[in-house]
Amino acid sequence: MLLSSQKRYSKKEYQTKNKYPKYIPFDENFIWYWDLYFETGLIQEKLSRRNKITLVLDLDETLIHSNQIRLPGLNYDFTVSLKVKEAQTMFYVYKRPHVSEFLSQISKWFNIVIYTSSVQEYADPIIDFLDPNGYIKDRLYRCNCEQMSRNWIKDLSCVTNNFKKCVLVDNSPLAFSRNWKNGIQIKTWFGNPLDRELVKLLTFLDALRSLKDVRHILEYRKDWN
C-alpha cells in the first residue's frame, strides 16, 4: 500500500522520468517496478564491473609497434605526430595482429585499463584509434610510472587496491616488478605479421577470469606460455 505522501507513478512515467529510480513504491505493482529497475541495465552494469577482474594492458610492443621509419613490406595503420627535442616527429603505428578482436573479446570478461610508459600526447591518439568502441575504461601514462635506471616501473596501486582481481600484461617483466604476482609477460612485438600471441593469450585469460585471486596462479608462472 502506498502512503498518502507517496505519489503513485504510472509505468510510463517511471520509464521516461526515472531510469534509475531512488525509491520504488511497494504496492501491488511492485513486480513491474522491480523489473523496470533492472531493465535499465544500470544495476547489472555496475555489479558486473565491480565483480570483473581489471585487466591492465601495456601499449607499445604489446598492442602496437611504432617507429619513426616505416617498416619494409608492411602498411602502417596510423600516424601520430609528436614534438621531440623541439622538432615535430612523425611516428608510424602498426597494430599487432588480432588486436581488434582481442579487445572486443576481453571487454566482455574484464574491465580494461591501458597503462603505458609513454607520454599522454603520444598515447591518447593511438588508444583512440585502437578503441573506437570505448572498451578501454581508463588510461595511465608515464607520469604514473616510476623511473628506475632506464626502465619504467608500473604501480598497480594507481589502478586499484584490490590486487586479487588485477592483472598486468606487459612485454617487459620489469614493468610489473613491483606487483610480480599480478604480471603476465607477453612476447615483444616488432612487426611480425604472422604473430598470434594475443590469440594464445585469450585462452589463458579465459581461464583466469573466474578466479577469486589471480595471484594464486600468476605467482607460479614466469610467463603465460
How do residues 74-102 score in pLDDT, each as one tens digit? Answer: 999 999 999 887 889 999 999 999 999 99
- The answer to the question of residue 56 being in a domain is yes
The boundaries of the domain holding residue 62 are 52-66+95-218
- The answer to the question of residue 12 being in a domain is no
The CATH number of whichever domain residue 124 belongs to comes to 3.40.50.1000
Nearest-angstrom CA–CA distance, 144 and 50:
23
- The answer to the question of residue 214 being in a domain is yes
- The answer to the question of residue 164 being in a domain is yes
Please identify which residue in the block is written with the cell numbers 507517496: 6
Nearest-angstrom CA–CA distance, 48 and 167:
17
**pTM, two decimal places:** 0.77
184 residue type, one letter: I
How do residues 149-169 score in pLDDT, each as one tens digit? Answer: 889 999 999 999 999 999 999
Q: State the catalytic residues.
A: 58, 60
- The answer to the question of residue 7 being in a domain is no
Structural domain count of the chain: 1
